[in-house]
Amino acid sequence: MSGSSRLDGKVILVTGAGGGIGRDVALTVAAQGARVVVNDLGASLGGEVTEAERAEAVAREIRDAGGEAVANGDSVADPGGAEAMVARAIATWGRIDGIVNNAGILRDGFFHKMSFEDFDAVIRVHLYGTFNVSRAAAPHFKDQGSGAFVHMTSTSGLIGNLAQANYSAAKLGIAALSKSIALDMQRFNVRSNCIAPFAWSRMTSSIKVDTPEQEARVRKLMEMKGEKVAVLASYLLSDAAAGVSGQIFAARNNEIFLMGQSRPLRSVHRGEGWTPETLAEHGMPALSGTFYPLSVSADVFTWDPV
Ligand code: NAI
């Protein structure tokens, strides 16, 4: 793992960078020397377009600080829009070196009440959006023999959360997509990693607060800044991260976690094979001591952010 941790000369596209964590990533990579395509559709939390000028405002902020940035207002959910974002980078600076798939929306609701539209909209922005933008950049990365992807996943998908079936499915799908990209494009020196961020943003501000426990949890969330996530993203995009691919990290204030990936935990075997009866008598009792509880993210991250 040698090479610079700075991003001088690199061209980075950050999706959903008009606010929240994406804006922090755009500002941080620009401060590290990158030229930035700031993408944002200007969507409300649920995905309706309300503030189309949001991307331009962040691009201006970068230029005002002496950096280089252009804005793009396309939707990641649209394959043509994703092509246009990457084309903007190529047209402006002649190359693309890094992609941060960060754009996102939420349409929370308990599974038994979730509409097709709410499932579809969230999968489209997160999972298809990540595919569309990554796929648009892939031929350029392949041709130049280098490139880095960073995708925002979530502990809602990696661990679990209530009332987020659409979002959790998309976010765990993104982790698998990232691993597949890392495997398929390793031969072209292309890396792909995920970050599960914890940060106070309008996304987390939508968390329902009905009890004192939830209020205390939200107070803790408010301490967690997107800039902390942005530092990890910036590093992962740099040449210093040359040996880092196919990994899932979490970033929570000053803590950084390497998250697990699925492996067999325990096995049971019967030479003659299994019947439903022997599974009930022997197989499941042997495995059940190792079952995962039905935990949510907050049951796993049980201590305050530090
Ligand atoms: P945010 O809601 O503040 O920012 C998301 C941005 O994406 C918005 O500016 C929005 O306009 C943009 N966007 C939405 N749909 C788009 C589309 N189709 N095309 C282009 N842009 C679009 O959210 P936040 O919290 O900054 O989240 C950023 C990422 O981090 C998301 O992927 C989210 O799922 C993930 N995340 C955030 C966590 C947190 O604690 N804030 C926790 C876990 C994951």
1 has pLDDT over 70: no
State whether the beta carbon of 47 lies less than 6 angstroms from ligand 1.
Answer: yes
- pLDDT tens for residues 162-204? 999 999 999 999 999 999 999 999 999 999 999 999 998 887 7
In a domain, 32, yes or no: yes
Residue 174 belongs to domain spanning: 11-258
pLDDT tier for residue 11 given thresholds of 50, 70 and 90:
very high
Mutate to test the pocket of ligand 1, among 25, 75, 102, 156 (most ligand atoms within 8 A of CB): 102
Determine the residue type at 168. Answer: S
- In a domain? residue 296: no
Q: CB–CB of 134/100 below 8 Å?
A: no
What is the Å distance from ligand 1's center to 266 Cα? 37
305 in a structural domain? no
Instruction: Please indicate, yes or no, if residue 146 is contained in any of the structural domains.
Output: yes
Residue 223: pLDDT band (50, 70, 90) is confident
Domain-embedded: residue 3 = no
Model confidence pLDDT, tens digit, residues 14-50: 999 999 999 999 999 999 999 999 999 999 989 988 8
pLDDT of residue 219: 80
How many domains does the structure of the chain reveal? 1
Q: Which 3-state string (H, E, C) describes 137-163?
A: HHHHHHHHCCEEEEEECCHHHHCCCCC
Catalytic residue, chosen from 128, 167, 235, 292, is 167
CA–CA–CA angle 111, 128, 144 (5° rounding): 150
Where residue 123 falls among pLDDT bands split at 50, 70, 90? very high
pTM: 0.96
- Whole-number Å distance between alpha carbons of 204 and 217: 11
How would you classify the pairing of strands 11-14 and 255-258?
Answer: unpaired
Nearest to 10 by CA among 240, 244, 238: 238
**Residue 1 covered by a domain:** no
For ligand 1, say whether the CB of 20 is within 6 Å of any of its atoms. Answer: yes
What mean pLDDT is reported for the chain?
A: 96
Pocket lining: 30 vs ligand 1, CB cutoff 6 Å: no
The DSSP 8-state label assigned to residue 6 in this structure reads: S
266 in a domain, yes or no?
no
pLDDT higher than threshold 80 for residue 209? no
**Chain segment 89-119, per-residue pLDDT in tens:** 999 999 999 999 999 999 999 999 999 999 9
- Buried-exposed string 162-185: b where 16+ CB fall within 10 A, e elsewhere: ebbbbbbbbbbbbbebbbebbeeb
Is residue 206 pLDDT above 80, yes or no?
A: no
Structural domain contains residue 269: no
Name the token pair of 265: 């935990």
Mutate to test the pocket of ligand 1, among 40, 177, 223 (most ligand atoms within 8 A of CB): 40
For atom 1 of ligand 1, the residue with the nearest CA is 20
As given in the structure block, the two tokens for residue 8 are: 């001088």
CATH code of the domain covering residue 227: 3.40.50.720
292 is catalytic: no
Residue 50's pLDDT is 86
224-274, pLDDT tens digit by residue? 999 999 999 999 999 999 999 999 999 999 999 999 999 999 999 999 999
Rounded mean pLDDT of 68-95? 98
